[in-house]
Amino acid sequence: MTELIAVYDADGQEIGSEERAIVYAEGLWHASAGVLVRSLDGERIYVHRRTETKMVFAGMHDCLAGGVLDPGENPAGAAVRELGEELGITLGDNDSPLPLRAHVPWDGEWLGRPMRCHLFAYELRYEGPIRHQPEEIAAGWWWTDATLRAHLDDPGWPFVPDTRVLIPALLR
């Protein structure tokens, strides 16, 4: 099955769509949205390890539940969708919108190819049940900002590179 995702320009405007594999192979600009899940008291962050079968950043750790935007999808909508898909957290109609914490264009590299993505990060305070999507998340746990930062200080610790650029805006 062919999966189309939104294609963006360097300025952050959606300009069309393309197959996910082509976007990654050709380094086309696209967008992703992710949610940092914090405990209600704000003291802990939910960190997870991606499955080994992911197309990008397989087996690496992350602190955002997120993914790429579908054609015509807005970043906040994608963030809510991904939160539900990856962690089983659904927001009710009366819940307040997720606050945007950061929007950063990332012009990086993955497996020797360019990867260009507009990253939109949101935050949710939450303490309810978490149910991993088994195809996407292998394991997860709660850490303090300090514990996560200590792991990030180890250059050998496998953490997704796009979230790394958002860390200064997300951690205390």
Query: Each residue of 52-62: pLDDT tens digit?
Result: 999 889 999 99
pLDDT tens-place string over residues 141-158: 999 999 999 999 999 999
51 with 58: CB under 8 angstroms?
yes
**Could you tell me the pTM of the whole model?**
0.91
| Cα gap 62→170, rounded to integer Å | 12
Sketch the domain layout of the chain as residue ranges. 4-170
CATH architecture under which domain 4-170 falls: Alpha-Beta Complex (3.90)
